[in-house]
């Protein structure tokens, strides 16, 4: 049993449409002490070449809820452009030119002190999934 008074958080992103990590995605972290408390922005980072965000800020003591905000629009725009260059007839945007369907993904979850929470994001152009990993 851990005696830590705070929880910790890590994440990574897998682009399931390409079968590879999503690098360069900005991730912001916020926390609050309960459902009626205001969100406190803690800072952020970006995913590395392996799609991992290893240096998220520490959570303050008393954190009950955490929110991870993933800025995926720039990733999709870059990804779509690379795919269009590789395939001359591929559309610049995967949804017929209307832009990115999910410009951001916000995940909110509850935490308890002393636990580590690894929250992977499985991402595709028109859907995403998250789970508590290890």
pLDDT > 70? residue 77: yes
pLDDT of res. 78: 87
> CB–CB of 23/80 below 8 Å?
no
Q: How far is CA 134 from CA 62, 110, 117, in A?
A: 22, 16, 7
Q: Whose CA is closest to 24, among 69, 82, 94, 74?
A: 74
Which pLDDT belongs to residue 87?
40
* pLDDT over 90 percentage in the chain: 75
Average of per-residue pLDDT across 96-111: 86
Query: For the chain, what percent of residues have pLDDT higher than 70?
Result: 84
Candidate from 4-8, 49-53, 97-101, 111-115 with smallest mean pLDDT? 97-101
Enter the pTM of the model.
0.84
Of residues 29, 63, 25, 24, the one with CA closest to residue 44: 29
Decide if 114 contacts 1 (C-beta within 8 A): yes
Assign 79 a pLDDT band (cuts: 50, 70, 90).
confident
Q: Is the pLDDT of residue 85 over 50?
A: no
Q: In this predicted model, which residue has the larger pLDDT, 17 or 5?
A: 17
CA distance 85 to 73: 18
Tell me which fold the domain 8-73+105-130 belongs to.
Immunoglobulin-like (2.60.40)
- pLDDT at residue number 114: 92
- pLDDT value at position 91? 45
Domain residue spans of the chain? 8-73+105-130
114: number of Cβ within 10 Å? 13
């Amino acid at each position: 049993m851990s005696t830590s008074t705070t929880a910790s958080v890590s994440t990574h992103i897998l682009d399931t449409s390409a079968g590879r990590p999503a690098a360069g995605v900005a991730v912001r972290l916020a926390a609050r002490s309960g459902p009626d408390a205001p969100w406190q922005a803690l800072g952020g980072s970006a995913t590395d070449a392996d799609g991992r965000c290893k240096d998220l800020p520490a959570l303050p003591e008393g954190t009950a809820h955490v929110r991870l905000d993933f800025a995926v629009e720039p990733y999709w725009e870059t990804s779509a452009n690379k795919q269009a260059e590789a395939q001359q007839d591929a559309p610049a945007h995967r949804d017929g030119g209307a832009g990115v369907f999910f410009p951001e993904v916000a995940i909110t979850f509850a935490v308890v002190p002393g636990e580590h929470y690894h929250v992977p994001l499985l991402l595709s152009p028109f859907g995403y999934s998250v789970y508590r990993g290890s």
